Amino acid sequence: MTSVSQDVRYSLRQLSKHKGFTVVAVLTLALGIGVNTAMFSVLNTFLFRALPYPESDRIVRVFRTSPHSQSWPHSAANFFDQHSQNTVFEKMAAYNFASRNFIEQGQTAERLLSIAGSADFFPVFGVAPAHGRVFKPEEFEPGADNVIVLTDRFWARRFGSDPNILGRTIELDGKSVQIVGVMPPGFEHPILWGPIDIWLPLKFSPERKRKRGTDGRDSLCRRHPGVSIQQAERS
């Protein structure tokens, strides 16, 4: 015990003689501890907690595997084959990221980040819009490129959470589109897709439905009740 006390006193004397080193050492430890704590907080928030959707444990991401990768996206034809032969998923959605130019009179043009999702995209999550509606079946037909749904964040940032936003027409890439809905706060999730502004209907022409090349479509599905991950993987 005496030896330990002597070592501690000696260490304190040495640190007091080299105050610059002491400050740097303490700051380094503090920053290191702070970074580790922040990293754990991020992991705890995004990995260890359930996603903010009803029965979120039933939501899965489906990848196409090959000798080159275990997480390839899907071609349109492969997605529709999986959809027609599926027995384990209640809902299956394809989606991809896109960007659109938003031009409003008197405002600076802005490049919007968007997701174009197939008909089951919103039903996969089981969350209703906070305002208005999501897309109707006929709005997924080729040529019906005229409706959008806003994220709550974009609605607040660009439109000041205007309660009369529904039915308003804006210009995207030179086309007039109508705002039909706004999703609730927290619906968009950084683990699943990161910050976005709008959702669009994902449409497939008959020719695209037959395309089997890599088409960059991701897939999210909701398992049937009682179907395990292992059963879904074997299907």
pLDDT of 33 strictly over 70: no
Q: Which domain holds residue 229?
A: 56-234
Residues 75 and 171 both lie in one domain: yes
Residues 106 and 221 both lie in one domain: yes
Q: How confident is the model over 40-51, as a mean pLDDT?
A: 52
pLDDT of 169 strictly over 80: yes
Residues 120 and 137 both lie in one domain: yes
Residues 92 and 174 both lie in one domain: yes
CB distance 122 to 200 below 8 Å: no
CB distance 100 to 112 below 8 Å: yes
pLDDT band at 30 (very low <50, low <70, confident <90, very high): very low
Domain count of the chain? 2
The model's pTM is 0.75
Residues 120 and 27 both lie in one domain: no
Residues 171 and 230 both lie in one domain: yes
Residues 33 and 75 both lie in one domain: no
Residues 71 and 172 both lie in one domain: yes
Residues 130 and 199 both lie in one domain: yes
| Higher-scoring residue by pLDDT: 121, 143 | 121
Exposed e or buried b per residue across 156-193, where buried means at least 16 C-beta atoms within 10 angstroms of its C-beta: eebbeeeeebbeeebebeeeebebbbbbeeebbeeebe
Q: How confident is the model over 58-82, as a mean pLDDT?
A: 79
Residues 184 and 87 both lie in one domain: yes
Residues 42 and 94 both lie in one domain: no
